[in-house]
Amino acid sequence: MKKNTQKNNCPCGSGLLAEQCCLPFIDGVRPAPTAEALMRSRYTAYCLGNTDYLLSSWHASSRPAQLDADNEAQWIRLKIIASKDDHVEFIATYRIQGKAHKLHETSRFIYEKPYWYYVDGITHTS
pLDDT tens digits, 74-101: 999 999 999 999 999 999 999 999 999 9
CATH number for the domain spanning 65: value is 3.10.450.50
pLDDT digits over 36-68, tens only? 999 999 999 999 999 999 999 999 999 999 987
CA distance 38 to 119: 12
* Domain housing 70: 2-123
Q: Is 35 in contact with 86 (CB distance < 8 Å)?
A: yes
Q: How many domains does the chain have?
A: 1
CA distances in angstroms from 37 to 12, 64, 83, 104, listed in the order given: 9, 22, 10, 17
> Using one digit for the tens of pLDDT, what is the confidence trace for 68-77?
766 789 999 9
